[in-house]
Structure 1
Amino acid sequence: MPQPSVERYAPGARPARAASPPRAPAAPAPPAQPPGRRIPAFWPRLFPTLVVLTLLTRAPSFARTLWNPDEGFLATQARQLADGGVLYDTVVDRKPPLVPWLYRGAFGLFGDGSLWPVRIAAIVAVVVGAGFAASIAHRRWGERTAWAAGAAYVLLTVGLDPEDTQAATFEVFMLPWTVAAIWCAERSRWAWAGLAIAGAALCKQTGGAVLLPVLVILWQHRAGPRALLRLGAAAALPVLALALAFQPGRFLYWIATGSGAYLSADGSGLRPLLRAAGGLGLLALAALPLVAGLVAVTGPRRRRLRHTADLWAWLAASLGASTVGLQFFGHYFLQVVPPLALLGAAALREIHPRTAMTSMALTALISCCFVGWGFTADRTELDHAHRVADTVRAYTDPDDRVLLWGMHPEGYWLSQRAPASRYLTAGFLTNFSGGRGPARVGERYAMDGAWPYFRWELRRRPPQLIVDDARGKPYGAWRVPSLRGALERGYERAARIDGADIYVRAR
């Protein structure tokens, strides 16, 4: 039988491939984009949603002139700076400079008669923070979790007393910096992460607590000493530069060492603990569906959430920062919102999608209740401040300086009268703080050097009018010897408004 022919090949040679039919020319490939620069397709839908959600939840912020004394303090500071005042010299506070500068810039651009420019800035801050949170969630867990994290961030920022959440104050502007620090760190952008940490700390000192989770990320990435050096240098240099600009001793005194007595709960009794329970309770209520999901996923014999070690460290650091000074004001707990929103969103990813949607719907419903509370919140203190401001204007001329002895510096801004002292509240001179009991309150507990400077101010340019707005509090003017002496020597009582005594200078 004929044998089939067998082709032989040289060692290592391969048989020739059969010719294939010619193909049509391929379409040109789209230009390649650098890794990490491509915008996810869902962002054109998510970002406008976050903007609208923020506008709805912060709508009550435009419903009143002021929300709390911090807004009044910042507004008065901004006017002082516009009139040539010098921060940490003739214009003082215990806070870093970024937020006072923000108010000053907004007033310079849009006028100082209303706070709507900084309210808009607060909306921008919330949207930016929510965007960073959504981006972090998308990188770790995907699109669905990004939507949940961004929405949860916005909804939880109003989950406290409206006086604490609707005001455009320190924590609102600090939060985007903290989320940006985590965003940069997880992408190994250590210098940018350090700058974000500095930005957070220069809005409010406790913003520096985000350094802990950033260090956790650095350790997870095994980044090494060079990355640590870049992070530390970028975080420290802006602070050091400002310290040199303001004189290191003066800068350190006002933002740290001069507040020793204030950062203490001595004499407060149970008030701080009750305030802490109230603040944490409200935030827990706002986040209840998310917290329930988190407990369900991380409870006993449950699997651990992936990629969350830094978030747990962030949550712990934020809670710790909220306790500094043992004052526990409600707005302190806003610092907990970003890690809580991200952890809650990560937990929803692990449960049934229908249950997760129900949890987010319930969170939105609870947020609606807080928004409604914002529109109906008590206005007693604000109405009192307006009546006092009207009285101040009636008894003084626009160029007169006045002294409002109390804890509500918004009266200076509302009355459009310049303060007679750089100390805008009696707290600097008596160590009184909201809710502090009568112990450790008085002239001898003032900040070091405050009373000699205050007496010099009163002698140099005596105020035309003094308002004792203590209304029975332990720092009342007649309980403070130096101020009582000044009133007895040169002032007469002219009116009484809601318990506040108005004294005019004797002719």
Structure 2
Amino acid sequence: MLADPSPSLRSVTTSVLPSQRHRPADPPVTAEFRYWRRLIPVLAALALLTRVPSFRHPLWNPDEGYLAVQARQLASGGTLYATVVDRKPPLLPWLYEAVFALCGDTSLTPLRLAAAAAQLLTALALAATARSRWGDRAGRTAGVLYLLVSVGLNPEDAQAATFEVFMLPFTAAAVLCAGRGAWTRAGLAVAGACLTKQTGGAALVPVLWLLWHRPGPRRTPVLRTLVGVALPIAAVAWLTGPSRFLFWTVTGSAAYASFTGSELHVLTRGLTNTALLAAGCAGLLPPVVRVLRIARTGAVDLWLWLAASAGAVLLGFHFFGHYYLQLIPPLVLLATGALQILPTHRLTGALCASACACALFVAWGLLAPRPDLAHTQRLAAAVEARTGPAERVLVWGIHPETYWMAGRAPASRFLTAGLLTNYSGGRDGPQVGEKYAVDGAWRDFRAELTDRPPALVVDDSRGKPFAPDRLPTLRRFLASRYDRSCVVDGAVFYVRAR
């Protein structure tokens, strides 16, 4: 924790009315209740306001489309990691499936509300952590700052209801529980983060640091933490099939997690998203840098959390914008701690700068066009017009949301060309092709197309490296069984030969 240079930094001076001088102090429980009763509505309103742009479009990015199609497949009897596949853990596909079951599967509005709730929970966990370390004002500061900077990226990354947004409440809760010595709950929170996205495991680093530096015996806390982490993951692995779970979440992504190929493209993306995050955190970075220059800050666990999260961003060498969301919670706590030992005007400046940056990013989300979405909508309308509700189609591209918008079932478990060519990893050069596919994917893909040929094939590659003419297996399949029908917005439609 940050060094406290004087007792006065923890005191709060207030004026006391004559009628209040002899009034007994509120019981601690009452004071706690009053604190959160006042703070929670403010943070809830701010969470909704900062995520207003998320309701503007039916979809923000292909990850949302992928999850929506997965949820429909699961609801139709699909099996996760067998007939429904992705490289991600299962919690979010299951959440989408549950929300669709309750609210219908034609709109992501309920998921948008769930994402706002996830951001609120993250803010509350950070506020509780800051309050326990530095007092009431710090708690309010951390909660407000987090929500202001949580949208400081490209809206396609910050406003989408995808993995990182739902992972962050678990990571923040893990650090909060560890700070309170609740080791089993800290382990369970880490497990929840890992089962939402693998990189959520970065939260285990600060948890273990706090455990190691606690007074007293360590054996029991270590066991409780490890059991809390291991049991949920083992249960999910058993439920989905241990070998399949391990393959799809860990071992089956060797080609994806590689820096070879498209180095300049990937580095440019990384630098761009770093600059965007720095702009969104314009109110946080100056106090952190200032305190680093004038004092020892302590808070080693927070620095380790930030470092581990940075490692998670680097993992796989893709630098997608939504990866950077994982950096925001530790940055917020470090800035909050720094502001406790700086003059009050620094806090005002940090809040104002964060509010201004937030306003710019919210305006960007409200005003920026989405040409890819318009293309997908035109494609989906054409697919719907040319097929019946019970017919299966194959959309060969990187926009799985086409299936969801068209209301048509995919002909394959592989919802994008990425798992079959490695293109979804952001590659645009030599690391794209059949030989870079997930192990065994082309074998399963050929079997699916042979057993149940799609009524319609849509080649949405539009000149990209995964075009069928560069893939012998797909090229031969189309040439032997399908006729070219038409072109819609650059995508080539094929129908079965008669």
| Number of the residue aligned with 1:466 | 457
Deviation at 1:45, TM superposition (A): 1.7
Instruction: Please give the per-residue CA displacement for 1:338-388, whole angstroms capped at 9, x wherever unaligned.
Output: 001111111122221123112211111110000000011231000000000
Q: Describe the shift of the 1:296–1:32 C-alpha distance in structure 2 as closer, same or farther (beyond 3 A).
A: closer
The equivalent residue for 1:239 is 233
Q: What is the one-letter code of the residue matched to 1:204?
A: K
1:424 aligns with 2:415: yes
Structure with greater helix share of residues: 2
Counterpart residue identity of residue 244, structure 1: W
Question: Within the alignment, does 1:263 sit opposite 2:257 as a pair?
Answer: yes
Deviations 1:163-202 (A, max 9, x none): 0010000000000000000111011000000000000000
Tell me the amino acid that sits aligned with residue 304 of structure 1.
R
Report the equivalent of 2:445: 454
CA distance in 1, matches of 2:25, 2:280: 46
Q: Equivalents in 1 of 2:120, 2:480: separation in Å?
A: 54
Partner of 1:154 in structure 2?
147
Code of the aligned partner of 2:199: T
Letter in 1 for 2:148: L
In the alignment, what sits opposite 2:117?
A: 124
CA contact (8 A) 2:256 2:425 kept: no
Match for residue 220 of structure 1 among 208, 213, 228: 213
SS of the aligned residue for 1:41 comes to helix
Is contact 2:288-2:334 (8 Å) kept? yes
Whole-Å separation in 1 of the counterparts to 2:240 and 2:95? 17
Equivalence for 1:304: 296
Normalising by structure 1, we get a TM-score of 0.91
CA deviations 1:435-473 (Å, max 9, x no partner) are: 312202111111111111110000100000111111111
Amino acid at match of 1:245: L
Q: Quick one: structure 1 residues 503 and 312, their matched pair in 2 at CA, closer, same or farther if it must change by over 3 Å?
A: same
Matched, 1:39 2:32: yes
Listed one character per residue, the Cα deviations across residues 48-90 of structure 1 (whole Å, up to 9, x for unaligned) are 1111111111000000010000000000000001111011110
Contact residue 405 and residue 466 of structure 1 kept, 8 A: yes
2: distance between equivalents of 1:262 and 1:434?
6
- The 5 Å alignment of 1:12-51 reads 39=32, 41-51=34-44
In structure 1, the partner of 2:7 is none
Partner SS for 2:73: helix
Distance in 2 between residues matched to 1:497 and 1:323, nearest whole Å: 38
Q: Partner letter of residue 402 of structure 1?
A: V
Distance 1:155 1:434 in 2: 30
Show the 5 A alignment for 1:313-392. Answer: 313-392=304-383
Counterpart CA distance in 1 for 2:446 and 2:172 is: 44
**Partner Cα distance (1:494, 1:159) in 2:** 44
One-letter amino acid matched to 2:255:
A
Q: Does the CA contact (< 8 Å) of 1:402 and 1:466 recur in 2? A: yes
Once residues 354 and 185 of structure 2 are traced to their aligned partners in structure 1, the CA distance between those partners, rounded to angstroms, is: 33
Report the Cα offset of residue 40 of structure 1.
Answer: 5.2
CA contact (8 A) 1:388 1:497 kept: yes
Mapped pair 1:194 → 2:183:
no
Q: Are 1:56 and 2:54 counterparts?
A: no
- Secondary structure at the residue paired with 2:284? helix
User: What is the Cα-based RMSD across aligned positions, in Å?
Assistant: 1.6
Hey, what's the Cα distance between the residues in 2 that align with 1:355 and 1:267? Answer: 45
Q: Say whether residues 1:101 and 2:82 are aligned partners.
A: no
Q: Cα distance, 1:273 vs. partner?
A: 1.1
Q: Does the 8 Å contact 1:315/1:340 carry over to 2?
A: yes
Does the aligned pair in 2 maintain the 1:269–1:437 contact within 8 Å? no
User: How many angstroms apart in 2 are the aligned matches of 1:113 and 1:217?
Assistant: 45
Instruction: Give the secondary-structure state (helix, strand or coil) at the position aligned to 2:402.
Output: helix
Unaligned runs of 5+ in 2: 1-23
Q: What amino acid is the match of 2:252?
A: G
Moved more, 270-279 or 320-329: 270-279
Identical-residue share of aligned pairs (%):
52
Q: CA deviation at 1:241?
A: 1.2
In structure 1, how many angstroms separate the alpha carbons of the residues matched to 2:28 and 2:57? 48
Contact 1:287 1:363 in 2 (8 A): yes
Q: 1:216 & 1:53 partners in 2: Cα distance?
A: 32
Q: Which deviates more from structure 2 when the two are superposed, residues 374-383 or residues 107-116?
A: 374-383
Q: Secondary structure at the match of 2:221?
A: helix
1:328 counterpart SS class: coil
Q: How many residues align?
A: 475
- Match of residue 166 from structure 2: 173
Q: Which runs of 4+ in 1 moved over 4 A?
A: 29-34
- What is the CA-CA distance between 1:38 and the residue it aligns to? 6.2
> Offset at 1:42?
2.5
Separation of aligned partners in 1, 2:196 and 2:101: 20
Structure 1: state its 5+ residue gaps.
1-28
**Paired residues of 1:290 and 1:348 also in contact (CA < 8 A):** no
> Are 1:160 and 1:370, in contact at CA under 8 Å, matched by a contact in 2?
yes
| AA in 2 matched with 1:280 | T
1:395 shift after superposition: 0.9
Q: Write the letter of the residue equivalent to 2:426.
A: G
- Structure 1 counterpart SS, 2:484: strand
Q: Which one-letter code corresponds to 1:227 in the other structure?
A: P
Q: 1:334 to 1:424 in 2, by over 3 A?
A: same
Distance in 2 (alpha carbons) for counterparts of 1:126 and 1:365: 19
- CA–CA separation in structure 2 for the residues paired with 1:435 and 1:241: 32
Deviation for aligned residue 1:305: 2.2
Q: Residue 153 of structure 1 aligns to which amino acid in structure 2? A: Y
Deviation (angstroms), 1:286? 0.9
Counterparts of 1:199 and 1:494 in 2: how far apart (Å)?
Answer: 47
- Give the residue type in structure 2 aligned to 1:417: R
Matching residue of 2:284:
290
* Whole-angstrom distance in 2 between the partners of 1:422 and 1:254: 13
SS at match of 2:272: helix
Q: Note the C-alpha offset of 1:434.
A: 5.2
**Greater shift in the superposed pair: 497-506 or 478-487:** 497-506
Worse-matched range after superposition: 433-442 or 241-250: 433-442
Please say if residues 287 and 346 of structure 2, whose CA atoms lie closer than 8 Å, have aligned partners that are also in contact. no
Further displaced range: 112-121 or 426-435: 426-435
Residues 30 and 134 of structure 1: CA distance in aligned 2, closer, same or farther (over 3 Å):
closer
